[in-house]
Amino acid sequence: MTAAAQQLEALIKAQAYGLGFDLVGIATLGPVETAAAFDDWLAAGHDGDMAYLARGVAKRRDTRLAVEGATSAIVVGMEYGGREPSGPVARYARGDDYHDVMVDRLRELHGWVERELGRPVAGKAYVDTGPILERDLARRAGLGWFGKNTMLINPRIGSFFFLGELLLDLKLVPDEPFAADHCGTCTRCLDACPTRALTEPRVMDATKCISYLTIELKGEIDEALRAGVGERLYGCDVCQEVCPWNEKFALPLREEAFRPRPAIAGKDARALAQDLLALSDDEYRVMFKGSPLKRAKLSGLKRNAAVLLGNVARRSADN
């Protein structure tokens, strides 16, 4: 039976789940509801050194402009192991680069759509790689609500998942947007943030966020924020770890590509920091090829390692 004889949207979702995605929804492209709020966030200077976030303003405000002729988005989520133990590297960055993993599978999905329809379909896959406000698209596709920690939260699997989308020149029936807010009066994420980066519900000052400080920041970490970094080398999961929706619904790690690499697996913060400080450029390139940790560069990782070991030394002195 062909796609014309069945509901194409149901077939697309089944194929996406078969490719390993954990969430799938469909949204119609158009003006973006949260674009003005994002503009205000940029104007407040919360983006820090991330000047690239201000690029592509027109596309950010209207998702139809990202791909000529595109009218629909297939929005997907892929979990990365919210049940994994805490560690010096955030859960999302312990294995292979999620951009590569997800873009490859979205391209497979694109090819499947073309084969099913028997014709070319203009489109493009995005995974945190363009001026797309992905949370907005995901909410419109019915995948979750914006949590007070700024993450998209899904009521079935929490928030430990990546977002990606396939924009297509293809009219699809959209899912109902996710309208409810299930955070209620809870403020666990705001209360737990070690550097008080969550200045109010759903507003993050990235310049104080440990993920920004250990990944995106190019210079030295402000001394006033170093203690809050604690024993974290790359990224931070605190605001997700304390979320009741993750405590109850986060999934075990299932995607093999996201399993911790040998250079990271089983190592405590001090041992990993010492390993990084001893790495040469060549060793680093081989060890972390295709890893999210490449984004901070070896110089950034060594800076983080020095801050971490300084925090360990201060804590030992205080005891």
Q: For residue 214, what is the DSSP state?
A: I
Catalytic residue, candidates 40, 100, 128, 191 = 128
> What confidence tens digit (pLDDT) does each residue in 118-138 have?
999 999 999 998 899 999 999
Instruction: Report the alpha-carbon distance of residue 27 to residue 165 in Å, rounded.
Output: 10
Q: Quick check: 3 pLDDT over 80?
A: no
CA 114 to chain centre: 28
For the chain, the structural domain boundaries read 3-168, 201-239+256-318
Confidence of residue 189 (pLDDT cuts 50, 70, 90): very high
**Catalytic site residue 275?**
no
State the alpha helices, DSSP H only, in the chain: 8-18, 35-43, 57-61, 98-117, 134-140, 188-192, 210-211, 223-229, 238-241, 244-249, 269-278, 281-287, 297-318
- What average pLDDT does the segment 194-207 reach? 98
Q: Quick check: 4 pLDDT over 70?
A: no
Contact 258, 94 (CB under 8 A): yes
Q: Which two tokens stand for residue 18?
A: 């078969």
Average pLDDT value over all residues in the chain: 96
Confidence of residue 74 (pLDDT cuts 50, 70, 90): very high
Q: Which two tokens stand for residue 226?
A: 């170093």
Strand partners, 165: 75, 126
> What confidence tens digit (pLDDT) does each residue in 272-317 have?
999 999 999 999 999 999 999 999 999 999 999 999 999 999 988 8
Confidence of residue 142 (pLDDT cuts 50, 70, 90): very high
- At residue 146, the pLDDT reads 98
Confidence of residue 1 (pLDDT cuts 50, 70, 90): very low
> What confidence tens digit (pLDDT) does each residue in 144-157 have?
999 999 999 999 99
As a whole-number percent, the residues of the chain with pLDDT over 90 amount to: 95
> What confidence tens digit (pLDDT) does each residue in 19-42 have?
999 999 999 999 999 999 999 999
Contact 89, 175 (CB under 8 A): no
| Reported pTM | 0.95
For residue 2, give every residue at least 6 positions away whose Cβ sits within 8 Å of its Cβ, in sequence order, or none.
116
Q: For residue 230, what is the DSSP state?
A: T
Confidence of residue 5 (pLDDT cuts 50, 70, 90): very low
> What confidence tens digit (pLDDT) does each residue in 242-257 have?
999 999 999 999 999 9
Q: Quick check: 77 pLDDT over 60?
A: yes
- What average pLDDT does the segment 104-119 reach? 98
Q: Quick check: 319 pLDDT over 90?
A: no
Q: Quick check: 2 pLDDT over 70?
A: no
